[in-house]
Structure 1
Amino acid sequence: MSSAVSAVLRALSALAPPVRRWHPSPRRNAWPGGLMQLVFDSSDLPAHERVEGWQHATSSALVATRFHIGNPSVFAARLDVMSLGAAHITTMSYTNLFSIRTPLLIRRSDPEHYQIAFIRAGRQGIDQNRTRTLVRPGELVLYDSSRPFEASCTDPAPASTIVLQFPKHLLPLPAARVARLLAVPLPATRGIGRLLTRFVTTLTEDRIDFTPFDALRLGHTAVDLTAAVLSHHLDEEAPSPGSQAHLLVLRILSFIEENLDRPDLDPAAVAAAHHISVRYLHRIFQQHHVMAVTAHIRTRRLERCRRDLADPALGHVSIAAIALRWGFTRPADFSRAFRRETGLSPSEYRAAAHAGII
């Protein structure tokens, strides 16, 4: 391996895999607050070493893929990264290329992330989950690190993309429904998609001085906005979105959100508060929501607990108190549910979050 590529690898060596916090090379230019880091610039390398350097940079910053580049001698690319706790934002620009993520690469390394890309310049092809499409500037596209995909850029001008990636378990939507949106172009310059793209674009372009704790909270906001965008498009598939039953579900979801702290919040309590039967409650949730009512309550409670455990300002509050605050009256039940959801015990999750690992 050449000395120039070795230098790039040394710059990347401080970067943990995507599931860990990154510590890019201090020689790279950073914004105030130390959040945006230049990871790769092809102008740092001789032309014949740029493709190899790009391969290593994208594998460390995103996911492992194989590249085919038609004319390596003129290949040019740049990659910058921002860590937002468990989420990361990557800005990329690159000339023509073709990339593929194979089942073998997935078996070797899979961070189990969703990645949602905002295409700023250059038309880009994507093929995943039996959906092949051409994504244009001003559109969003979602893909899944656990599924094979192919991506290409063949426009004469360089492509420019902002990618938000985060662990799949942070998205409060069923994976089977999210899969319907993989490789589907979504509008990014109007409606709710514009909120997400303006948010991530501001983070990457404005010289804002914020702390690592701010970054953690901003990561949660980015995931929430992504969930809102995806939910909006999934809601378009729901039957009779303007029906009385659908409006009732929206009122019930608001009621649940306002009463997550109640230990007695269960389907019977929800049904009684809205003067309907438990059977009817389950039926309208099956028709008009992405998950059952009991699962929704549990998911929202665990999400609130995750946020409180990750918040450094609540480091003095006991785990049992946080669990009780969000309706878990039995610590053992909470610990089992939390580990099943996140793969970590509450104490392990808190320690990892405060250390910036997740």
Structure 2
Amino acid sequence: MGELSASASAVVRADRFEWFREAVSTDVMPLSIRTERPSGFRAEITDLRLGPVQLSTFSYSPVVARRSAAHVRKGDPEQYQLALITHGAIRTSQLGNESLVSGDLVLTDTSRPMENESGGDGAGVDVVMLRIPHSDLPFRPDKVDGLLARPIPARAGTGAILAGFLVSLLDQRSHCGPGELPRMGHITLDLARACIAQQLGTPGEAPAEARTQLMRQRVHRFIEDNLGDPDLTPQQLADRHHISLRSLHLLYRDQPLSVAAHIRRARLERARGDLARPELRGLPIQAIAARWGFTSATAFSRAFRDAYGSTPTEHRASALSVP
């Protein structure tokens, strides 16, 4: 899958900070790193290659990092790095901008000097970092400069959609087939473009596919939150998102499933999961079907058999059978 994981715990305790310093300087970009507690240092790094972009996770003890002009000349991957701070806080500065970021996104440019101080409270930080080549971000560099080292909200709007997608992708990566991750990379890039365009105040500059993907993600999230509503229909989705029914269907034109089929499949997957849960053994199958928006037990049984090749009763018996 193009995934690499490494942990400082694999080296002797005295060498763990040096291992981290060398790993970041070599694999991410040249920079200087110092810490006040090298002897008890902890760090874990994961890199996931997603076609046009790279998604990395970093979990490490408090450090101060500095990338000077000399470091830039020594080696520059020519990337924008969009970081989601999932735990702890990072104080970052670049081009005269300075921010303390916690729980939000922050954008930096590897081609410019920068400074970062993380884990000032001594607890360390966890970071999800999206590494985007300059050439794949279609905005004027002077406009993007204004966003560098400034917090991008990750609790609402496009920032929340992007942050949620990144976390979900990391959680589900082991379930993705060989060809799926590169496609996820293109989706990730489109969402990042849309997020940055929104921050620039020019959402119209986001590529058409990015805007389409953004709206599709909003629709998907609404579907997931309302699967139990038997009145969840394509028309309701269109009305709630202030688009025409035709526009909604166009969002799914290039998708494996139509919007109606996506709703049905999502409901079936939730019901199938509940049928296999021992703690729900006493709940009637019809109740589980109704829980996920199926108003007809007969229609649910038929759809389940068509999707999985067995009836709900057969699936439950097999899943709950004792070896």
Using structure 1 for the length normalisation, give the TM-score.
Answer: 0.55
Map of 2:303 onto structure 1: none
Counting aligned pairs with the same residue, the percent is 31
Query: Is the counterpart of residue 95 in structure 1 residue 82 in structure 2?
Result: no
Secondary structure of 1:218 counterpart: helix
- Matched AA of 2:79: H
Which whole-Å deviations, capped at 9, do the CAs of 1:33-60 have from their partners, x for residues lacking one?
A: x34321x311111222112211221124
CA RMSD of aligned residues (A): 2.2
Secondary structure of 2:175 counterpart: coil
CA contact (8 A) 1:94 1:158 kept: yes
- Matched AA of 2:116: A
Give 1:174 deviation, angstroms. Answer: 1.0
Which whole-Å deviations, capped at 9, do the CAs of 1:102-160 have from their partners, x for residues lacking one?
A: 11111111010000000011111101011111111x21000000000000111221210
Secondary structure of 2:65 counterpart: strand
CA distance 1:119–1:167, change in 2 (3 Å): same
CA contact (8 A) 2:30 2:74 kept: no
Map of 2:260 onto structure 1: none
CA distance in 1, matches of 2:81, 2:141: 14
Can you give the 5+ residue segments of structure 1 that lack an aligned partner in the other structure? 1-33, 242-249, 259-358
CA contact (8 A) 1:139 1:187 kept: yes
Map of 1:78 onto structure 2: 44
Query: Is the counterpart of residue 116 in structure 1 residue 82 in structure 2?
Result: yes
Secondary structure of 1:206 counterpart: helix
CA distance in 2, matches of 1:212, 1:61: 24
Give 1:99 deviation, angstroms. Answer: 0.5
CA distance in 1, matches of 2:26, 2:180: 24
CA distance in 2, matches of 1:78, 1:218: 23
- Matched AA of 2:181: A
Query: Is the counterpart of residue 59 in structure 1 residue 52 in structure 2?
Result: no
Can you give the 5+ residue segments of structure 2 that lack an aligned partner in the other structure? 213-323
CA distance in 1, matches of 2:122, 2:34: 16
Query: Among 129, 145, 148, which residue is 2:113 paired with?
Result: 148
Give 1:190 deviation, angstroms. Answer: 1.3
CA distance 1:213–1:174, change in 2 (3 Å): farther
Q: Superposition pairs for residues 139-178 of structure 1, below 5 Å? A: 139-153=104-118, 154-178=120-144
Which whole-Å deviations, capped at 9, do the CAs of 1:229-270 have from their partners, x for residues lacking one?
A: 1111111xx7xx9xxxxxxxx59x97xx99xxxxxxxxxxxx
CA distance 1:177–1:212, change in 2 (3 Å): farther
CA contact (8 A) 1:48 1:73 kept: yes
CA distance 1:106–1:207, change in 2 (3 Å): closer
Map of 1:36 onto structure 2: 3
Give 1:207 deviation, angstroms. Answer: 4.6
Q: How many residues align?
A: 208
Q: Superposition pairs for residues 284-295 of structure 1, below 5 Å? A: none
- Matched AA of 2:55: I
Larger radius of gyration: 2
Query: Is the counterpart of residue 186 in structure 1 residue 152 in structure 2?
Result: yes
Secondary structure of 2:123 counterpart: coil
Query: Is the counterpart of residue 48 in structure 1 residue 14 in structure 2?
Result: yes
Map of 1:298 onto structure 2: none
CA distance in 2, matches of 1:207, 1:172: 27
CA distance in 1, matches of 2:111, 2:199: 22
Which whole-Å deviations, capped at 9, do the CAs of 1:74-113 have from their partners, x for residues lacking one?
A: 1111111100123111111111100011111111110100
Q: Superposition pairs for residues 259-274 of structure 1, below 5 Å? A: none
CA contact (8 A) 2:17 2:39 kept: no
CA distance in 1, matches of 2:193, 2:29: 21
Give 1:212 deviation, angstroms. Answer: 4.3
Map of 2:163 onto structure 1: 197
Query: Is the counterpart of residue 68 in structure 1 residue 34 in structure 2?
Result: yes
CA distance in 2, matches of 1:191, 1:77: 32
| Greater CA drift, 52-61 or 120-129 | 52-61
Secondary structure of 1:143 counterpart: strand
Secondary structure of 2:146 counterpart: helix
Query: Among 72, 77, 96, which residue is 1:130 paired with?
Result: 96
Q: Superposition pairs for residues 311-322 of structure 1, below 5 Å? A: none
Moved beyond 3 Å, runs of 4+: none
Using structure 2 for the length normalisation, give the TM-score.
Answer: 0.61
Give 1:210 deviation, angstroms. Answer: 2.8
